[in-house]
Structure 1
Amino acid sequence: MKFKATATAEDITGDVKNGEHFCYAEETKLAWEEGKLCADITEEQRKLTQADLIIFQFPMYWFTVPAIMKGWIDRVLSLGYAYSQDKRYSQGIFKDKKAMLSFTTGSHETMFSANGINGDMNVTLWPLQNGILHYCGFQVLAPQIFWAPSYIPSEARITMLEGWRMRLQGLMGEKVLSFTPLDCFDGEKGYKLKPELHEKQATKEFGLTVGVHLGMVIPPNSQMKAGV
């Protein structure tokens, strides 16, 4: 499938509301409400609406998704359709759907460890899994990571694929990753963690999540394994 890597005003058919001070999110929200988004976007949104599970398959590129996939995210997960001020995170629009990342890396697993040169993979995944998938309400399954397939023997790559095939058979029954629910944050005070929850967490060994760590130790593997 060909898909633009950049979101532009061309994603809207017809005139925009405010061309002088163009705001992509607001303009696409209006276009979505009025049925004026481009056909390629509406087709992807149709498929997403019908899906129970979305698997993002990609080669990790500069520690994130390739530009063409980022373009898909920017254009398809539009304001109004995929999220709103009131419908996001644990109360998000896609809270009845599951999503996951499945990707290859150019570096070995040791390089993405907590003491590896690339840094902790849990930290790398936080913007993608929390800031995009969970933000839209998806229940996020643990990622499927194929570590440095270009640098291992063919037999090892075959083993990787067999493990993925086996996992796919029971994927929908897996537990999902844990994120702090939206109602744990005080919307009237800038969506900061409620004081009583902050106080309760202070007695524990780890912070809540990779992002909401409260200045404490980041919980190990919380972005890579369910139930952590």
Structure 2
Amino acid sequence: MHALVVTAHPSPRSLTAELARVAGSALKGSGSSVEVSDLYAMGWDPAVRLEDYRDVDGGAETVSARSRHAYGAGTLAPEILAEQDKLRRADLVVLVFPMWWHGMPAILKGWFDRVFVNGFAFGLQDDAGLPRKYGDGGLAGRRVLAVVAAGDRAESFEPRGLNGDLDELFFPFLHGIAWYTGMEPLRPHLVAGVDRPGWDRFDREVERLRERIAGLGAEEPVRYRALADGDYGRDRKLRVDVLPGERGVRIHERRVGEQELGEQGPAGHCVDDHRLAS
């Protein structure tokens, strides 16, 4: 297995940096090859700029269209092309970052913004002309693990916790980025309470992360519903007969015992609306 470790913290002496080193070491110890993108050390620019799409005369086109043209023409900025090559080689992507304002640091979000361009990570079609997204896409075949350091205690990220349930907090990443582009997301690995006075769990957290990495081969990813499963109607909403009356992001996870409907769906339901525009 080949892994890409992407880390985002300005200090090389930070807990985040150490967790990234532990993850890389554990992966190598399990026989994997590892590449690292330390975004701060690289001086990564998180801002999307028209200069990213060199020699592309897009006129009034959208950023998405410009990026697609540049990707097809091979004129993306060299640093973007280099990160895309790393992703092509990767079977596993490990993201290591601190939780800042209930999300990832801007530099990491900017890595997604600039690297996951139209034509590379999304905007693709299958042989039938149907869009490849939500369970398929340019990064299909890869898995992704987020290792997140948070200041507050672990209990505060549980379903009844003050900070909100961790899986729901990271739904935009797990479902909207990873699953959308075809990657299989694993449950986030939370290292909690790091800002609390007297926090002394460093050695235990290192051990826990090593154990998590060692067991990744047997770990089940989050079982989100794929667009092609037949669970969504023409309006891109979960069909009324699937988990009737339930709401919230959890309805997009397939429950234990549920049967996949397949692309044709049950009798009377049409799911060939995948041709709708994104």
- Over 3 Å counting, the alpha-carbon distance change for 1:155 and 1:106 in structure 2 is closer
Residue 152 of structure 1 deviates from its aligned partner by: 5.9
Mark the runs of 5 or more structure 1 residues left unpaired by the alignment.
Answer: 214-218, 220-228
The whole-number CA distance in structure 2 between the counterparts of 1:147 and 1:173 is 24
From 41, 49, 53, the counterpart of 1:12: 53
Contact 2:136/2:179 (8 A) holds in 1? no
Matched, 1:2 2:43: yes
Residue by residue over 1:25-79, the C-alpha shift from the partner in whole angstroms, topping out at 9 and shown as x without a partner, is 1101100000000000000000000100001110011111101001100000111
3-state SS of the aligned residue for 1:40? helix
In the alignment, which residue of structure 1 is the partner of 2:271? none
Which of 160, 163, 169 is the equivalent residue of 2:205?
A: 160
Specify the code of the residue in structure 2 equivalent to 1:54: V
Aligned AA (1:17): G
Pairing 1:1-228 to 2, within 5 Å after superposition: 1-18=42-59, 21-84=60-123, 86-151=131-196, 153=198, 155-183=200-228, 184-186=230-232, 189-194=234-239, 198-202=240-244, 209-210=249-250, 212=252
1:216 equivalent in structure 2: none
2:191 and 2:177 map into 1 onto residues whose CA distance is 21
For 2:183 and 2:52, locate their aligned partners in 1 and report how far apart those are by CA, in whole Å. Answer: 24
Question: CA RMSD, aligned part only?
Answer: 2.3
Q: Distance in 1 between matches of 2:76 and 2:61?
A: 16
CA contact (8 A) 2:232 2:238 kept: yes
Aligned position for 1:222: none
Measure the CA separation in 2 of the matches of 1:94 and 1:48: 8
* Partner AA of 1:79 in structure 2: N
Q: 1:152 to 1:53 in 2, by over 3 A?
A: farther
Cα distance in 2 for residues equivalent to 1:140 and 1:167:
14
One-letter amino acid of the counterpart of residue 161, structure 2: G
- What are the ranges of 5 or more consecutive residues in structure 2 without an aligned counterpart? 1-41, 125-130, 256-278
Is the contact made by 2:95 and 2:145 (CA closer than 8 Å) also made in structure 1? yes
CA distance in 1, matches of 2:242, 2:148: 36
Q: TM-score, normalised by structure 1?
A: 0.82
Q: CA shift at 1:121, angstroms? A: 1.9
Whose helix fraction is larger, Structure 1's or Structure 2's? 1
Give 1:207 shift. 5.9
Give SS of 2:195's match: helix
Q: Distance in 1 between matches of 2:201 and 2:216?
A: 22
Cα deviation per residue 1:112-140 (whole Å; 9 max; x = unaligned)? Answer: 23333222222211111001111111011
Shift of the 201–46 alpha-carbon distance from structure 1 to 2, 3 Å rule, reads same
Aligned-partner SS, 1:102: strand
- Equivalent position SS for 2:250: coil
Q: Between 117-126 and 45-54, report the one with greater CA deviation.
A: 117-126
Q: In the alignment, what sits opposite 2:267?
A: none
Moved over 3 A (4+): 152-155, 206-209
The CA distance in 2 between the partners of 1:200 and 1:127, in whole Å, is 22
